[in-house]
Chain A
């Protein structure tokens, strides 16, 4: 395929897919090890009401209010879940189930009640996103990468996602030691003076930021899949956290690139005309990688070396 076709149509979605996948997979490693894997699932459900409320308040589908609405909803959900666990003495899993389904239901109802038919805001979009539509119209080929005018027409999702990825990576690098210690041995972490409570909360917030930023571009399926599948597959490959993070990043990139390629061109190879959902395909591929790792990974069993 020529650059003239690839750069405007496929390069940007692919890069966004990679950024999303890695930005979610990195904090996902800690969430999986801390048995908080379903937080990604919960967050991606609860941001729907936040986005709808932001839309109702501003009356338009604009980026910043929606991001704030989504982040606000995520924080509200985390606080409410914690409150229900403490006040009602309910186990965290069940409390999470109650709150995220209720908030999601509220979001769907608000969406149905308000007149959003004129704008592009619906539940399906929130679920699968629309990676394929993020094309770079101003590009004419590889040379556009050095063309300032063409670069100005780049979809805003790409720089935003790249910034999110940098932010997430910086957080993990900055708090590497405390994160690592508190993930494996919380009691020891407390004795050496690490404030595990705020640190755990910060980790959830960073995951929420990654989820909210990604959600806008690609929908919630990729977000949930990337929080869990690459880290889970990486866990089968190694016992060292440093290597696990690297493996998870590699798996995330492979899922994103191969998933996007298969979704965009796979049906053509089979002789069908249209492409299939890239978000769904990326999630599926990450699942296949996880299945392979679970069957053949060197460290797949509990306690075995």
Chain B
């Protein structure tokens, strides 16, 4: 059953929804990256909550005009209109008043959502409102979707994705380096507007699939996940799009195959699964690699301190240092140096003396700046320079008696 769903074998509607979700996920992943890089990720939360009054007003108007209140295009147009209004309010509050953007976001999302809830209760009292099913917009519901609705969603998701692909260059430039973008003659304000337009499109198309409370996850989780795997903006965009598409695809398929698996939460949780995996295992920024890096560093510090102690004939009590020295074959069980260990220790001490010499000599200032107690001196000085330093230190002299 799950395999059937993943291979798109569950009937025409489910297939359309799954493909639509995947396209939308890709568009959201890419669009969300720009939002994330501009540090405005949570603006999308205000936009998505602000869709609710629009959906309700559209329903009421359509029902009053005698039409079918559930017409998806009408509902989504209403959603887009009120979401745009919400976005304008956020921008106005955060630029024209002393409120910070986060307070503006919170105010808009709670007030618009509150108004939406009031309108929902109004609709429940209307005759046409009994089976409106507008609650489906809160948490997303793709079960029992009309074929025409599925077609609309798949189609508009494809258009959104095409828009994202079309706008990727100016968006990348503006989100990576707004000053440079302005200097090259790009109108960053307009690019920002285009970005918000894209986010709005993703939100509105995603309403029916993921629901307005969780659509923000589709825009935030993929870029944050992608950020773990690369340091390059263009790669973040591609990886984030792929992750978004993949989680939406898997989520929608699972939800179609299993009972009591609402689409929205499953998509979000699949995306969160990828996030957790990346947080733990990503190379470079992940948790595991951070632990490994730390252990490696710890080992170098202990080995070096151990060698210096051996060279100066001090006893070593620290168990980790002893164990590491033994494992390298530089010391015996009782902490006495082996021949190899003595040679290494002498070298470590010599290098330390060399470092101290160049640190007190202004001629070597640039090289000496690299001193951190661990760096091998051969990596900052040429063999000629090391010879010169050794001449300054002087050769071992016989002891005067």
Q: Which residues from chain A sit less than 8 Å from chain B, CB to CB?
A: 32, 35-38, 40-41, 45, 84, 87-91, 93-98, 101-102, 104-106, 108-109, 112-113, 123-124, 127-128, 221-222, 224-225, 227-229, 231-232, 235-236, 263, 267, 272-277, 279-284, 286-287, 290, 294, 299-303
Decide if B31 is an interface residue (CB 8 Å cutoff).
no
Contact between B117 and A280 (Cβ–Cβ < 8 Å)? Answer: yes
Decide if B113 is an interface residue (CB 8 Å cutoff).
yes
Instruction: Kindly list chain B residues whose C-beta atoms are within 8 Å of the C-beta of A95.
Output: 224
Contact between A109 and B110 (Cβ–Cβ < 8 Å)? Answer: no
Contact between A263 and B118 (Cβ–Cβ < 8 Å)? Answer: yes
CB-defined A-B contacts under 8 Å, sample of 6: A101-B214, A102-B269, A106-B269, A232-B99, A272-B122, A294-B92
Instruction: State which of B39, B117, B285 has its C-beta within 8 Å of the C-beta of A128.
Output: B117
Determine the interface band of chain B, counting residues with CB < 8 A from chain A: 35 or more
Task: Known A221-B113, A301-B97; judge A38-B42 contact (CB<8 A).
Answer: yes
Decide if B24 is an interface residue (CB 8 Å cutoff).
no
Contact between A105 and B268 (Cβ–Cβ < 8 Å)? Answer: yes
Contact between B275 and A112 (Cβ–Cβ < 8 Å)? Answer: no
Of listed A127, A273, A287, residue having the most chain B CB within 10 A: A287
Minimum CB–CB distance for B253 against chain A, Å: 16
CA distance A11 to B356 in the complex (A): 81
Contact between B111 and A287 (Cβ–Cβ < 8 Å)? Answer: yes
Contact between A109 and B262 (Cβ–Cβ < 8 Å)? Answer: yes
Instruction: State which of B97, B213, B216, B265 has its C-beta within 8 Å of the C-beta of A109.
Output: B265
Contact between A105 and B269 (Cβ–Cβ < 8 Å)? Answer: yes
CA distance A112 to B141 in the complex (A): 12
Contact between A281 and B118 (Cβ–Cβ < 8 Å)? Answer: yes
- Selected interface stretch from B15-23, B100-108, B166-174, B342-350: B100-108
Minimum CB–CB distance for A291 against chain B, Å: 8
Can you add 4 more A-B contacts, CB < 8 Å, to A112-B261, A281-B114? A97-B224, A106-B269, A276-B122, A284-B115
Minimum CB–CB distance for A245 against chain B, Å: 16
Instruction: Kindly list chain A residues whose C-beta atoms are within 8 Å of the C-beta of B120.
Output: 277, 280
Contact between A94 and B268 (Cβ–Cβ < 8 Å)? Answer: no
Decide if B135 is an interface residue (CB 8 Å cutoff).
yes
Closest to B105 in A: A38
Instruction: State which of B39, B139, B279 has its C-beta within 8 Å of the C-beta of A91.
Output: B39
CA distance A105 to B125 in the complex (A): 29
Q: Which residues from chain B sit less than 8 Å from chain A, CB to CB?
A: 36, 39, 41-42, 45, 92-93, 96-100, 102-103, 105-107, 109-118, 120-122, 124-125, 135, 138-139, 213-214, 216-217, 220-221, 223-224, 227-228, 260-262, 264-266, 268-269, 271-272, 275, 279, 285, 287, 290
Of listed A45, A93, A95, A104, residue having the most chain B CB within 10 A: A93
Contact between A38 and B107 (Cβ–Cβ < 8 Å)? Answer: no
Instruction: Kindly list chain B residues whose C-beta atoms are within 8 Å of the C-beta of A286.
Output: 110-111, 114
Instruction: Kindly list chain B residues whose C-beta atoms are within 8 Å of the C-beta of A290.
Output: 107, 111
In the A-B complex, the 10 residue pairs with the closest CB atoms: A283-B114, A287-B111, A280-B117, A101-B217, A225-B110, A105-B268, A105-B265, A280-B118, A102-B272, A97-B220
Contact between B217 and A279 (Cβ–Cβ < 8 Å)? Answer: no
Contact between A109 and B125 (Cβ–Cβ < 8 Å)? Answer: no
Task: Known A97-B41, A98-B272, A101-B268; judge A287-B115 contact (CB<8 A).
Answer: yes
CA distance A101 to B329 in the complex (A): 53
Minimum CB–CB distance for B92 against chain A, Å: 8
Contact between B114 and A228 (Cβ–Cβ < 8 Å)? Answer: no
Contact between B266 and A101 (Cβ–Cβ < 8 Å)? Answer: no
Instruction: Kindly list chain B residues whose C-beta atoms are within 8 Å of the C-beta of A112.
Output: 260-262, 265
Instruction: Kindly list chain A residues whose C-beta atoms are within 8 Å of the C-beta of B97.
Output: 236, 294, 300-302
Instruction: Kindly list chain B residues whose C-beta atoms are within 8 Å of the C-beta of A299.
Output: 98
Instruction: Kindly list chain B residues whose C-beta atoms are within 8 Å of the C-beta of A283.
Output: 110-111, 113-115, 117
Contact between A123 and B117 (Cβ–Cβ < 8 Å)? Answer: no
Minimum CB–CB distance for A150 against chain B, Å: 30
Task: Known A108-B264, A236-B97; judge A279-B106 contact (CB<8 A).
Answer: no
Contact between B110 and A228 (Cβ–Cβ < 8 Å)? Answer: yes
Contact between B224 and A94 (Cβ–Cβ < 8 Å)? Answer: yes
Instruction: Kindly list chain A residues whose C-beta atoms are within 8 Å of the C-beta of B102.
Output: 35-38, 93
CA distance A155 to B213 in the complex (A): 31
CA distance A254 to B120 in the complex (A): 23
Of listed A95, A105, A275, A280, residue having the most chain B CB within 10 A: A105
Instruction: Kindly list chain A residues whose C-beta atoms are within 8 Å of the C-beta of B96.
Output: 294, 300-301
Closest to A294 in B: B97
Instruction: Kindly list chain A residues whose C-beta atoms are within 8 Å of the C-beta of B117.
Output: 127-128, 221, 277, 279-280, 283
Contact between B262 and A108 (Cβ–Cβ < 8 Å)? Answer: yes
CA distance A294 to B265 in the complex (A): 36
Contact between A32 and B103 (Cβ–Cβ < 8 Å)? Answer: yes
CA distance A226 to B165 in the complex (A): 40
CA distance A231 to B260 in the complex (A): 41
Minimum CB–CB distance for B111 against chain A, Å: 3
Contact between A101 and B221 (Cβ–Cβ < 8 Å)? Answer: yes
Contact between B264 and A105 (Cβ–Cβ < 8 Å)? Answer: yes
Task: Known A87-B279, A98-B221; judge A284-B107 contact (CB<8 A).
Answer: no
CA distance A106 to B39 in the complex (A): 26
CA distance A101 to B265 in the complex (A): 9
Task: Known A38-B102, A101-B268; judge A287-B107 contact (CB<8 A).
Answer: yes
Closest to A112 in B: B260
CA distance A102 to B102 in the complex (A): 20
Closest to A266 in B: B118
Contact between A294 and B93 (Cβ–Cβ < 8 Å)? Answer: yes
Closest to A36 in B: B102
Minimum CB–CB distance for B332 against chain A, Å: 40
Instruction: Kindly list chain B residues whose C-beta atoms are within 8 Å of the C-beta of A273.
Output: 125
Closest to A91 in B: B39
